[in-house]
Amino acid sequence: MAAPSSSLATAGHGRTKSGRSSSAMRPALLAIAVSVMAVLLMAVLFGARWTPSAGGGADTSWVSAGARVVLNAVSSQQGADPVVKVAEPQDRLLGGLLSPDFNDTSCLSRYRASLYRRRSLHVLSSHLVSALRRYESLHRHCSPGTSAYERAVARLRSPSSSNTSDAAAALSECMYLVWTPHAGLGNRMLSLTSAFLYALLTGRVLLFHRPGDDMNDLFCEPFPGATWIVPEKDFPIRGMERFGIRTRESLGNALGRGEGGRDPPPPWMYVHLRHDYTRPGARDRFFFCDDGQDALRRVGWVVLLSDNYFVPGLFLIPRYERELSRMFPRRDAVFHHLGRYLFHPSNTVWGMVMRYHGSYLAKAEERVGVQVRTFAWAPISTDELYGQIVSCAHGENILPRVHESSPGNATATPGSGQQQQQQPARRKAVLVVSLHGEYYERIRDMYYEHGAAGGDAVSVFQPTHLGGQRSEERMHNQKALAEMMLLSFSDVALTSAASTFGYVSHGLAGLRPWVLMIPVRKKAPNPPCRLAATIEPCFHTPPHYDCQARTKGDNGKTVRHVRHCEDLKDGVQLVD
């Protein structure tokens, strides 16, 4: 864009035609020159399109030419801050977050899902992009089916046959983190994201243990040119899905026996981070202390079972603080970036998403997602919760209020016997996602019977109402994932407190949702909802342990960017 310019005509004796001294004009000229230089610098750094290169090898291959000059100039400086940016609209690689090394048709959702969401304005760090490309290279080298993997499994199967030098060489080649599913799909996706970040921080290869078929045909492979699925046949560690707090090989039990610094290290160790890991006497919480990390550092295979989003706990560990700050200059977008990197619905699930979206949501000018979840530990009646939903939706202008008495869909034209159809001011689609159908039916009937004030055309939809959670069934999980994706296409989100399903949906969308607060003595609280302070999920069961003082502590006050959750006071979450 050309900036407005002005010319200065000079006369004799250093004066302009207006009679002003040229020396008096110098500060103004200097200010203009500095401003122009600043604009040019910004154009060099950020004016070019951020386009990933096909090679994907060099750390700066995905940035603009001007920014690459600056990056090269500072690349030799230790601790140089990474470049951060926001992806352009229609950028299928999300600013370099996704690898270009995939076949489009093998996973239709990978490069298309973002086109149905609001544009993400959350900055992406060049350091995270580089870390992902390095991880992909490591995963290709060490994944199942490679000679490196076969050697590692052979050593796991017969650790006594490997001498010390062989074991050391193996650790320098490939180390593994095996994740096994537990609880509902939302919990699984959050714990899997946490496991992936831990793998990035520790140089491990993340593998996905799939003991049944409930996770089959759910997600696409996230890493190019390799699988993350553990081959079940002949894998030496059996029954991982049944591991628990009493498993002898657990980190907590090893520390309890004084074997944290064992030399040589055990061939494998189990990390128990389910909701009961903090119970009295258990030492599994030491995972978030240096003691636990030291015990795991030289273990070739680590098996993890968790139903928690334990990412905030990783920010409590001092040794990872610097790397995490470079990966995530803004700490409130960790799941947003890693979730969009990892989770791409299979073509089967994506077909469900596209059919429903095309039939019911595509023509709306605004999409409102309403996700309703109830818990036995927070009882509330259907009437009370419905009232809370409507009070929030109307009070915060999420949904339009209704006419007290229905005016009908048509109004008579004065002076004529004909009727004139009212033109709706705005088409608004409301997607209700719940295990039960009562809330959808009541919201639908409210607008059907009374009509929206202001003339908006409000349509209400619910894909399923399964009545209960059945996470051990593949079709149930496929439908759940499809609904998460549909919710992530929302322009505005209203979600239940403490719902991992909701965390995933609005985290993928990058939206701060309105949160229906937990009932108080079976009644809706006042106010009924709050705008979330962050898009980050809540770590429901943090260790609440002070590693230095060796006593109980409040992890919501330990480090700057970890605070107590608004929707679950005992939990903690990342804020910025």
Token output for 258: 């004084």
Amino acid at 434: S
Convert 221-264 into a string of H (helix), E (strand) and C (coil).
CCCCCCCCECCCCCCCCCCHHHCCCCCCCEHHHHHHCCCCCCCC
Predicted pLDDT of residue 467:
84
Q: What is the SS3 assignment for 345?
A: strand
Last residue of a domain, one of 87, 116, 145: 116
Q: From its phi and psi, is residue 285 left (phi > 0), alpha (psi between -120 and 50) or beta?
A: alpha
Q: What share of the chain is helix, strand, coil (3-state, %, to 5)?
A: 40, 15, 45
In a domain, 567, yes or no: no
The total domain count for the chain is 2
User: Burial of 141 by CB count in 10 Å (0-12 exposed, 13-18 middle, 19+ buried)?
Assistant: middle
Q: Could you tell me how far CA 526 lies from the centroid of its own chain? A: 29
Say how many Å lie between the first and final Cα of the chain, rounded: 34
Model pLDDT, residue 43 = 43
Are residues 183 and 277 part of one domain?
Answer: yes
pLDDT score at 347 = 98
Indicate if 337 and 242 belong to the same structural domain: yes
Pull the structure tokens for residue 465: 């109402």
CA distance 102 to 36: 42
The two structure tokens encoding residue 336: 């947003």
Can you state the angle between helices 147-157 and 164-173, rounded to 10 degrees? 140
> What is the span of the domain harbouring residue 324?
124-342
| pLDDT number for residue 569 | 93
Is residue 272 situated within a structural domain?
A: yes
Residue 408 included in any domain: no
Q: Which two tokens stand for residue 212?
A: 């049944």
DSSP H or E stretch at residue 165? helix 164-173
Beta carbons of 473 and 451 less than 8 angstroms apart:
no
Residues 109 and 201 in one domain: no
Q: Whole-prediction pTM value?
A: 0.84
d(CA 68, CA 96): 14
The reported pLDDT for the residue numbered 28 is 54
Q: How far apart are CA 101 and CA 136, in angstroms?
A: 10
Whether residues 94 and 137 fall in one domain: no
Q: Which among 212, 211, 139, 208 is positioned nearest to 178, based on CA atoms?
A: 208
Asked if residue 253 and residue 111 are part of one domain, the reply reads no
Orientation angle between helical segments 500-509 and 474-488, nearest 10 degrees: 40
> What are the structure tokens assigned to 260, written together?
């944290």
- Residue 5, domain member (yes or no): no
* Residue 81 and residue 199 share a domain: no
Does residue 177 sit in the same domain as residue 219? yes
Tell whether 96 and 201 lie within a shared domain.
Answer: no
Regarding whether 137 and 111 lie in a shared domain, the answer is no
**Average pLDDT of the chain, as a whole number:** 86
Q: Is the domain of 107 the same as that of 201? A: no
For residue 290, is it within any domain? yes
Q: How far apart are CA 37 and CA 43, in angstroms?
A: 10
Q: Which residues pair with 168 in a beta bridge?
A: none
- The type of residue at 509 is A
| Domain shared by 253 and 107, yes or no | no
Q: Is the dihedral of CA 323, 328, 332, 338 positive or negative?
A: negative
Give the CA radius of gyration of the chain.
28
Distances in whole angstroms, Cα of residue 236 to Cα of each of 163, 210, 304, 352: 19, 15, 16, 37
User: Is there a domain that residue 163 lies in?
Assistant: yes
Q: Is residue 532 domain-resident? A: no
Which stretches of 248-368 are DSSP H helices? 251-256, 290-296, 311-314, 321-327, 334-342, 347-356
Which helix H or strand E contains 72, and what residues bound it? helix 65-74
DSSP 17: T
The domain boundary residue, chosen from 297, 321, 342: 342
* Residue ranges in the chain whose pLDDT is less than 50: 1-25, 39-78, 406-407, 409-419
94 and 235 within one domain: no
On the question of a cis peptide bond just before residue 527, with omega within 30 degrees of 0, the verdict is yes
Does some domain include residue 371? no
Apex 47 CA angle, 45 and 48, nearest 5: 95
